Amino acid sequence: MEIDDYIVADDAQLAALVLQGDQAAFGYLFDRYREAIYRLFVQRTGDKSDADDLLQETFIKVYMNIDRYSPDYTFGQWVYTIARNTLIDYLRRRSDDVSIDERFLSPVSPGPTPEESVIDAQRRTQFEAGLSRLTPAYRQLIVMRFIEERSYEEIAESLGRGMNTIKTQIRRAKEAMCRLIVEHEE
């Protein structure tokens, strides 16, 4: 597969490629979820080293159990469930090793750090700029699929088009969006 094909492939397609032995596809899945899950671990543990370990443990579990992933659910939900369970196991193990004084310390702030807020704002700005430059038809598809989080079936029914047509148009809209974002970065 070409790099562009990996970039525009949805999570279910990449998971299917991983099952066929495509290691690069797993790398792209990892890249899509790495930062968000790492940030979750840092927020909950307050320790970047522990967050690194938990991130590695989570994605080892994802890789080892990818054959259990069902496309009936979003890949993101499945990964976050594994991450949450990994964190719970870690916290249980850790609570056995923590003194009573440490248990009553104030919790780690659940909000993003100032740096993360700036990065998120920059990404949001890039996304919005790309979205505004899309054709109205592609913009509508991106909004329905990724902002409103509608299923392909809901979009097809809403727009009165066939399922394969919608899938093709959404793939093309994602490709156009990726090109616009890459052009904006250059």
CATH number at 172 reads 1.10.10.10
Same domain, 94 and 116: no
Q: Point out the domain boundary residue: 109, 135, 152.
A: 109
* For residue 162, pLDDT beyond 90: yes
Residue 81 in this model has a pLDDT that exceeds 70: yes
Q: What is the pLDDT of residue 140?
A: 93
The predicted model scores a pTM of 0.51
Distance between CA 101 and CA 11 in Å, rounded?
44
Residue-wise pLDDT for 120-157, tens only, equals 777 778 778 888 888 999 999 988 988 888 888 999 99
Mean pLDDT, residues 163-168 = 92
Domain identity same for 72 and 141: no
Residue 61 sits in a domain whose CATH number is 1.10.1740.10
| Closest CA relative to residue 8, chosen from 119, 138, 136 | 138
